[in-house]
Amino acid sequence: MKINIIEAPNLAEPEITVRCSAMTGELREIIAALSLAGNTVAGIAGDETHFIPLGELLYFESVDDRVFFYTASGTFETPAKLYQIEEKLAQTSFVRISKSTIVNLRKVTRMRREPNSRLLVTLTTGEALVVSRQYMPGIKEKLGVLI
């Protein structure tokens, strides 16, 4: 892989262009990491609002019309709706795995097929989440692999 960096003081914001003969899993991973850099999510815990780097998030979950997100160190509530989060994070490593859950694929350490045609993903924290059958194509596309 060849990397060229060109400084252009007249640019309003950094611009990254990827030229490749084929989009590989390695390139997808690099692009996903770049898309998370510098972004934060506001979450409420108790009476405080915390700003958490997007890369630290494990997953979002909708429970009783409330949306929470989880990190290795805590649970936070967000006023955003799950569909809004999914739209905002469409070009990142986050993917919907069930009607109520969006997971950060960069925090998945392993996957296992279950007998009922579902998929079980295990996160870096050891927590396991179930992927519904209807959301498996989204994971396949994001990972660029056959499951």
> Does the domain at residues 25-143 carry the CATH identifier 1.10.1040.10?
no
Rounded average pLDDT over 74-94: 91
In this prediction, residue 33 has a pLDDT band, given cuts at 50, 70 and 90, of low
**Of the candidates 8, 46, 6, 1, the residue with the CA atom closest to the CA atom of residue 24:** 1
Helices 136-143 and 25-36: angle between axes, nearest 10 degrees: 100
Sorted by where each begins, the domain ranges of the chain are: 25-143
pLDDT(27) > 80? no
For the beta carbon of residue 6, count every other beta carbon within 10 angstroms: 7
Which is more confidently placed, 101 or 12? 101
Instruction: Taking residues 16-32, report their average pLDDT.
Output: 77
How far apart CA 108 and CA 6 sit, in angstroms, is: 34
**Predicted pLDDT of residue 138:** 79
pLDDT for 36 equals 60
Percent of the chain with pLDDT strictly greater than 90 = 46
- Report the alpha-carbon distance of residue 119 to residue 130 in Å, rounded: 6
More confident residue, 72 or 33: 72
